[in-house]
């Protein structure tokens, strides 16, 4: 299954194996969301049904951000899974259902969705999973992006059960047979995260700073069930999205 980025397909020796969860990781500002969007755009062009689950930014901002690339994303389903402003009443309820339908990208407005005055929706990992289950049966998505799994981890689960819950969520994605791309936020000096163990493959984006500005690199950290390219390549974010320069670079410390 092609990723929509020519260089990355080459690095992955053809693309992703369908039906498995993959991870794209990197520090804030590395280009994860753009990579994920290119993955979905490739699917849309082939007439596949694609879903983007927003957990970090509201869909209206996503739409404006992607406008610069002039991609046709009208048929993309976008699920707004951003939690509302928290109500500070003592509600220990974590299993609040979102009951939200994905919206087509073309119908997304310019302004942010407002938290209603009398109730607010807190998205829990359980409710999101339930919702995905229903959606996958109903709409037969072929590509799903979750942006980001870090937000899901930080805001939608209880800290003490993070590792277990993340594992269960990844397990659920693997069982659902959909090809999914999950973005993971890394701190500047990264440690190994639980998600990396659980995914079938990880594409890592690196961001380095030198005198001439930010340099971006991409590497395939792991790819189960297929050979892949071990080299680290530099890439640029252009008007056409991510473009990988296929001349190998010296490996960067990660």
Q: Which is nearer to another protein, 47 or 187 (CB)?
A: 187
For residue 188, the minimal CB distance to another protein (Å) is 5
Closer residue to another protein in complex, CB, 25/180: 25
**Side-chain half-sphere of 207: how many Cα atoms within 13 Å?**
17
* Residue 80 Cβ vs another protein, minimum distance, rounded to whole Å: 12
CA distances from 195 to 1, 3, 152 (A): 22, 20, 12
Least distance from C-beta 187 to another protein, angstroms? 4
Closest CB to another protein among 150 and 180? 150
Q: What is the smallest separation between the CB atom of 90 and another protein, expressed in angstroms?
A: 5
The minimum distance between CB 234 and another protein, in angstroms, equals 13
Binding stretches for another protein (CB under 8 A): 28-29, 33, 56-58, 61, 64-68, 82-86, 88-90, 111-112, 114-115, 148, 150-151, 154-155, 158-159, 185-189, 191, 209, 211-214
- Residue 34 or 232: the one with the smaller Cβ distance to another protein is 34
Q: Return the half-sphere exposure (C-beta side, CA atoms, 13 A cut-off) of residue 163.
A: 5
Q: Which is nearer to another protein, 28 or 46 (CB)?
A: 28
Which phi and psi (to 5°) does residue 17 adopt? -80, 125
Distance CA 207, CA 205 (A): 7
Half-sphere CA count of 153, side-chain side, radius 13 A: 19
Tallying the residues shown for the chain, one arrives at: 254
Q: State the Cα–Cα distance between residues 106 and 157, nearest whole angstrom.
A: 31
């Amino acid at each position: 299954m092609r990723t929509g980025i020519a260089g990355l397909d080459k690095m992955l020796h053809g693309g992703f194996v369908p039906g498995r969860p993959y991870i794209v990781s990197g520090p804030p500002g590395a280009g994860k969301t753009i990579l994920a969007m290119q993955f979905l755009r490739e699917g849309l062009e082939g007439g596949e049904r694609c879903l983007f689950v927003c957990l970090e930014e509201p869909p209206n901002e996503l739409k404006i951000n992607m406008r610069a690339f002039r991609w046709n994303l009208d048929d993309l389903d976008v699920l707004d899974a951003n939690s509302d402003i928290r109500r500070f009443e003592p509600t220990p309820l974590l299993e609040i259902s979102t009951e939200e339908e994905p919206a087509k990208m073309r119908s997304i407005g310019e302004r942010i969705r407002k938290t209603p005055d009398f109730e607010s929706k807190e998205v829990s990992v359980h409710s999101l999973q339930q919702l995905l289950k229903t959606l996958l049966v109903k709409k037969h998505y072929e590509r799903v992006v979750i942006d980001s799994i870090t937000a899901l981890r930080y805001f939608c689960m209880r800290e003490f059960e993070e590792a277990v819950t993340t594992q269960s969520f990844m397990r659920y994605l693997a069982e659902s047979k959909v090809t999914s791309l999950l973005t993971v936020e890394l701190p500047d000096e990264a440690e190994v995260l639980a998600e990396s163990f659980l995914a079938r493959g990880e594409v890592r984006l690196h961001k380095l700073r030198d005198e001439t500005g930010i340099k971006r690199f991409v590497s395939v950290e792991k790819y189960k069930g297929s050979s892949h390219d071990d080299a680290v390549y530099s890439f640029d974010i252009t008007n056409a999205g991510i473009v990988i320069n296929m001349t190998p670079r010296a490996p960067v410390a990660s």
